[in-house]
Chain A
Amino acid sequence: MTERDGFTRTGPGHLNLGQAGPRAASPGLAVEASGLAKSYRDVRVLAGVDLRVPAGTVFALLGPNGAGKTTTVRILATLVRADDGVARVAGFDVRRDRSQVRRTISLTGQFAALDEMQTGTENLRMMGRLSGLSRTAARQRASELLGQFELTKAAGRRVATYSGGLRRRLDIAASLVGGPSVIFLDEPSTGLDPQSRLAMWRVIEGLAASGVTIFLTTQYLEEADRLAGRIAVLDAGQIIAEGTAAELKRKVAAQRLDLTAASRAAFERLVRHFRGALVHQDDVSLTLGVPTEGDAAEVRALLDQADPDRSLIAGFTVHSASLDDVFLTLTDSAN
């Protein structure tokens, strides 16, 4: 926990999450998994996944399409049974203590889990009743959540008329009716426009500040970087890296050297020269990027080796590596 420690404090949050507070504040691990494996027919979707998420933190599982993110989340949320491995959520075994796990967690899936033909209010009240609230309590909880998620105006409309952003917010609100202490969010901002994405991030930050544990999946490094204290990179069913955003960046190279080629022919020669080392390549702007430690001697040597005649490279910049660079380097070397 280095730069994201802000998320781990409990303190007074913006959001009232019912009973969530006390349990989340207790020490220990909110999620603990080891050796999770899952295959569908002969396709190995997860090949031994280990995870440890301290209570009260934000954790991001980062991976490309088909990496196994949804499968992992569904196993942890007791919706899918792993073929092998064990997992505990809030201290409960996902296989043996399924009901306790379910009472402790919430899951917001990749696709909205709402009734299109019911209004926002009706959806929330129904979820409230199903999670054991009385009629009055469910009504109260619904209007509370609608207020917190700025959905009051849309509350009386059927969900079928909602925009993507509204729908996602209602979906998260619906998952919170029972006051969960571990919140799973599967790709919470996929498909949202930049503005709705920003609003979603604020919602997640607000939840985090209330002291609950958040386990989110994403394909966006920027999102993991912004929201999560720790990040695990999942690729083809295996965790290929784990750490804080800063640690991951250090793991590969602190800096990136971007070169602008003088011509297309020069660009192609440079691409051939660097080949496997490239973390960035843009055929239109004729730029390419390679990792570097960033000190002058190394940069000078890189430039000289790539372009001994000093004719191929028109310009260069050095900047700190983004998580995208880390990700591309990690997944490349894993393959």
Chain B
Amino acid sequence: MRKFYTLLTLNLGSQMTAEIGEIRLPVSEAFYISIQNVRRRFTRVAITTASVTLGIAFFVSLMMMASFQAQTGGTGIQPYMYWLLFISLLVCGVGITNSMLIAVAERYKEIGTYKCLGALDRHILEMFLIEAMLVGGIGGTSGYIIGLVAAIVYAFANPAVGITTAFSSLTQPNPAVPLAGTMPVALGLLLLGIGIAVLLSLIATLYPAYYAARLNPADALRYEI
């Protein structure tokens, strides 16, 4: 029997076992597992999400306040603000990476277990990236709400702007808003805020997820917390 296999190996290379079939993890199942991870590890996810929320809240409130000012003849969105936003999002991204690296370390043994059950590297990668998307979506949405509230409070407290100006400028497009200049400001910033949050979270999670995916199962299982 051994000789038989050796022959096959010579002829077919890695297809030596006709028996070997498919391994898969449907996206719907990966999604389900990631959602469970987000639900059940709420504290950990909340910490990661907080980073996104703050970054997006800053972005949204800054853009809205500048839009209000543009309406009242003020300076509007200034070039230096983009720099400010870029730096704030960068800081937020580093925060996500840091938090996700800890999440990976906490789950070494779990990652080893998934691999024992048949997971491929890319399945582990997929699970973490879906989780990142969820974190981005949640963080983007909550960041938008906080930013919106902050901008309205600002308009309310500032007699030079006032609540009426705020609402009218939120429902009109502001061409100075990047990418979403043709949409009403409130809607444009919602889409942009969530979009940036998801993208940022994905990029920031790439390294931790890749690291997790590459773990050797024997090493991952040895790890004790």
Chain B binds chain A = no
Q: Which B positions have Cβ atoms within 8 angstroms of A?
A: none
Seen from chain A, the residues whose Cβ lies within 8 Å of a Cβ on chain B are: none
